Structure 1
Amino acid sequence: MKNYVQPGENITLTAAAASSSGDGVLVGSLFGIAAGDAEIGDTLTIVTEGVFEMPKPATDVLAVGDPVYWDASGKLATADDDSGSNAEIGVAVTTAANPSSSVRVRLNG
């Protein structure tokens, strides 16, 4: 197929903010996990598919299959969509109780 470009699980873009490997990165409605470190203006590859262990607020409770959102200001996965302000990034694939500091998330891709 002549218009095919790439599979899409890894997207290379220009970093709008400094990022470290493993950080969540939200650009518009595109979310992924930084595959390496980057400073503003550097080339950055983000991984948009797969399951990642992500930090969350200790008080958030998530069950397997619950939607997970991205709190861009806190740089945390969260159960709270903040009245639509937080982008939905995937679903929980493990139970995360209160208190716990992380949850495994399957990204929406």
Structure 2
Amino acid sequence: MNTGAWETVSYNSYQLNNLSTSYLNTGFKSRQYLSDHYVENASFLKMDNLSLGYNFGKIYRGCSLNVSAMVQNVFCITNYSGVDPEVPNGIDRSFYPRPRTYSINVGFNF
């Protein structure tokens, strides 16, 4: 009898209840520790930092004003199905994605 992918898992309730449906579609007959079946193209275009600033110059007797803004992790364009295509060591272990961070700075010089 050909049981396909079912032979590659151990029969405990945790693994059988949390088995990915893509794993069942592989057709593997035994465990594949070094398979490239799940490797996908992780090419991406990313803008990591954007910073803008403006110096308004002298606005009041001896006082000048500087304003700047910064955004980290602005955008990422990719077809990668995981959380972030820039994974450490090339293995996506579902870590938390990098947050988008906004910063506004206002400076007065006297």
Alignment TM class, shorter chain as reference:
under 0.3
Q: Could you tell me the TM-score, scaled by structure 2's length?
A: 0.22
Q: Which protein has the larger Cα radius of gyration, Structure 1 or Structure 2?
A: 2
Is the helix fraction higher in 1 or 2? 2
